Amino acid sequence: MSHHDERTFVMVKPDGVQRGLIGEIVGRLEDKGLKMVGGKFMQIDEALAHEHYGEHEDKPFFEGLVEFITSGPVFAMVWEGADATRQVRQMMGATDAKEAAPGTIRGDLGNDLGHNVIHGSDHEDEGANEREIALFFDEDELVDWDADAATWVYEDA
């Protein structure tokens, strides 16, 4: 089932954790048929924040973004599935939760640009998913398992 095994990095941000939305967000990804292969409840330090959001270091919102993402625990995850990176971005909705479409995670659960409850690797940034996975997880923290339901999620599993 090699073409169902794309991995992507997903994170419930500090606002999502504080608001008790971990279960809701995990549930939505499970319901879609994606498979969790790694999960870690953790606190991001300054150095990791700078590395993770390095692409934004010249933006005016960078310091605020680092302060926010280090302000409380996050739930970092790796999810696997066909076209998983793009699938998760579609489910997340637009960056500004005020503008995100109803039905999306940000559209349903958020109301702000900075506080937008979830991070997912950018599918338009080639290799971002693998880079972010490697930044947050050691290979031995990822679990290789077969989800029995996959045969009912994918026609060709």
Residues that bind ligand GDP (CB under 6 A): 56, 61, 64-65, 95, 113-114, 116, 119, 122
Q: How far is CA 155 from CA 3, 82, 105, 151, in A?
A: 12, 12, 26, 7
Binding partner at 111 among ligand GDP, Mg ion, none, C-beta below 5 to 8 Å by kind: none
- Identify whether 119 is a catalytic site residue: yes
Site string for Mg ion, 90-129 (x = CB under 5 A): --------------------------------x-------
For every residue of 99-154, DSSP letters joined together read: TSPTTSHHHHH---SS--SEEE--TTSTTHHHHHHHHH--GGGS-----TTHHHH-
Closest contact distance (angstroms) between CB of 65 and ligand GDP is 5
Q: Hey, which residues are catalytic here?
A: 119
